[in-house]
Structure 1
Amino acid sequence: MTGVWLLDRMIRSGAVRRGLVVSGEQATRVAQTAAREMTDSYDPQFASLSVGDSASAVVLDVSADAADRVHYIELMTCAEYSHLCMGMPSDRTPGIALYTDNKKMHNRDRLKLWPRFHGDFLAKQGRTFDGEEFDYVIQHQVGTRFIDYVNRTAEAEFDTPMPTSLSVVERYGNTATTSHFLTLCEHLRAGGARPGAKYLLVPAASGVVTGALSATITNVGV
Structure 2
Amino acid sequence: MEDSRDPQFASLSVGDSAVAVLVDRATDDADVIHDIELMTCSEYSHLCLGMPSDDTGDLAMYTNNKEMHAEDRLALWPAFHRDRLAADGRRFADEGYDFVVQHQVGSRFVDYMNHVGESTFGTPMPESLSVVEKFANTATTSHYLVLHQALMERRIPRGSKILMVPAASGVVTGFLSATVSSLEV
TM-score (norm 1): 0.77
> 1:91: which partner in 2?
54
| 1:66 Cα offset (Å) | 1.5
Which position in structure 2 is the counterpart of 1:210?
Answer: 173
Q: CA deviation at 1:100?
A: 1.4
Give the RMSD, CA atoms, in angstroms.
Answer: 1.9
Runs of 4+, deviation exceeding 6 Å: none
Any stretches of 5+ residues in structure 1 without a counterpart?
1-37
Whole-Å separation in 1 of the counterparts to 2:87 and 2:45: 28
Q: 1:169 aligns with which of 118, 132, 151?
A: 132
Flag structure 2 segments of 5+ consecutive residues without an equivalent. Answer: none
Whose relative contact order is higher, 1 or 2, with alpha carbons under 8 Å and at least 6 apart?
2
Higher strand share: 1
Q: 1:106 to 1:173 in 2, by over 3 A?
A: same
1:194 is matched with which residue? 157
| SS of structure 1 residue aligned to 2:18 | strand
Deviation, 1:181, is: 1.0
Equivalent residues of 1:129, 1:158 under 8 A apart: yes
The 3 A distance-change label for structure 1 pair 54 and 190 is farther
Alignment match of 2:86 (pick from 123, 144, 151): 123
Q: Identity percentage over the alignment? A: 62
1:30 corresponds to which residue?
none
Distance 1:173 1:47 in 2: 13
Q: Which residue of 2 aligns with 1:10?
A: none
Please say which of residues 150-159 and 96-105 is displaced more in the overlay.
96-105
TM, length-normalised to structure 2: 0.92
Shift of 1:133: 0.8
Cα drift, residue 48 of structure 1: 4.8
Letter of the structure 1 residue corresponding to residue 142 of structure 2: S
Q: Compare the two structures and name the one with the higher helix fraction.
A: 1
